[in-house]
Amino acid sequence: MSFCWATFVHVEVYNLAHRDIVVIGASLGGVETLPQLVASLPADFPAAVLIVQHMAADAPSFLAERLNAAGPLPAGPANTSEPLEPGRIYVAVPDRHLMIEGDMIRLTHGPRESHARPSIDVLFRSAAYYAGPRVIGIVLTGMLDDGTAGLWAIKDRGGIAIVQSPDQAPYPAMPRNALRHVKADYILQIEDIPNVLRSLTREHIEIKERNLNNRLEVETRIALEENALQKRVRALGAPSFYTCPECHGSMVVIEEGSIKRFRCHTGHAYSGTALLAQTLPNIEATLWSALAQAEERQILLNELAQRAASQSEDANGYAEQARRVRVLAEKIRTLTADPTLQKPQSQDQNALDG
């Protein structure tokens, strides 16, 4: 079965404009890398800068303070409904997606993408949808591949794609995966990015009518907390064999260029790499659960055998069952220590280079 989206013309009403929105995504290594980037941006930088740095939902974030002290541009935690202004840095906050909606900031509690909220892809996708060619997307250091699908959307809408040189990135998997699937306009060392941004944001660009696939609108609306099922999420792609690791809902396969990713009917989304990374923990958790149930059954059978013996009843049946369950539990315990379940340090990179 195949699905075909109709396209419509999304008209940006501009004659001449300039690139006035810069979106940046980072994960591991980003806390050290981001201050280096923003430190060299000038005080009169003519674009708004929005940053998603992966963070734990319950952890305090001091990144905005660090960026505010790093250079001349004011930086602060993003607030929903505040207007986008050039020369300011908006930093994502824990457990909220940072998005653009029109010319405003939106913070949402939409479904996680590849286990992340805030998600780089969510920010990039919303910027691509609402600002198209005015957007510059930057993927920095990190593990796995958040940012790749969002950078693809930015390029598809006529924006500029910049990727940190993997050779310089403390964790090169995220930049390498972006380069694997997206034709970047620039592959740069951190110290070279500010000069390129200064040049790109001062160029005049002509905004033309562009065809926009409905898929981008649907996924943006889902992240804005609209009902995924009502937004026809199941029509985003063909049905998938896999179920969502988070809610166990059925998923569809979304294909964009060489990218293949997955989204469930409640809205959670996964890249192939993120889905792969979840399988070993799920298998291990299932084995430990099976071991716990087997040992509980063994304990109960032993208790029943002891009670039967104390009442001069035949306890052999219970005792034999307990022995068999003990043997089974030992086999399961052996499986929990199987090296196959131990993720090698290079697994993320192997998955990307595979």
Per-residue pLDDT for the chain (354 aa), expressed as one digit of tens each? 444 444 444 444 445 789 999 999 999 999 999 999 999 999 999 999 999 999 988 877 899 999 999 999 999 999 999 999 999 999 999 999 999 999 999 999 999 999 999 999 999 999 999 999 999 999 999 999 999 999 999 999 999 999 999 999 999 999 999 999 999 999 999 999 999 999 999 998 888 766 667 899 999 999 999 998 888 899 999 999 999 989 999 999 999 999 999 999 999 999 988 998 888 888 888 999 999 999 999 999 999 989 988 887 887 889 899 999 999 999 999 998 888 887 654 444 433 332
Model pLDDT, residue 211: 67
* 85 and 166 together in one domain: yes
Domain C-terminal end among 210, 229, 250: 210
Model pLDDT, residue 342: 76
Sign of CA dihedral 268, 271, 272, 277: negative
Domain contains 7: no
Domain C-terminal end among 210, 225, 258: 210
Model pLDDT, residue 313: 81
Domain contains 242: no
* 201 and 287 together in one domain: no
Contact (Cβ atoms closer than 8 angstroms) between residue 294 and residue 324:
no
Domain contains 225: no
Helix 148-156 with 173-181: angle, nearest 10 deg: 40
Domain contains 269: no
Model pLDDT, residue 208: 76
The encoded tokens of residue 125 equal: 């996708």
CATH number at residue 31: 3.40.50.180
Domain contains 267: no
Q: What residue numbers bound the domain in which 311 lies? A: 274-353
* 191 and 335 together in one domain: no
Residue 27 falls in the annotated catalytic set: yes
* 286 and 159 together in one domain: no
Domain contains 123: yes
* 27 and 126 together in one domain: yes
CA dihedral of residues 7, 177, 27, 247 (deg, nearest 10): 60
Domain contains 286: yes
Overall number of domains in the chain: 2
Domain C-terminal end among 184, 210, 236: 210
Out of 20, 54, 181, 348, the active site residue is 54
* 204 and 280 together in one domain: no
Per-residue pLDDT tens over the stretch 281-340 = 888 889 999 999 999 999 999 999 899 888 878 878 898 999 999 999 999 999 988 888
Model pLDDT, residue 276: 86
**Nearest of 170, 153, 188, 161 to residue 259 by alpha carbon:** 153
The encoded tokens of residue 291 equal: 């071991």
Out of 121, 146, 156, 348, the active site residue is 146
Tell me the whole-structure pTM to 2 decimals. 0.85
* 62 and 205 together in one domain: yes
Out of 20, 27, 97, 156, the active site residue is 27
Domain contains 203: yes
Who's near 253: CB < 8 A, 6+ residues apart?
237, 238, 239, 240, 260, 261, 262
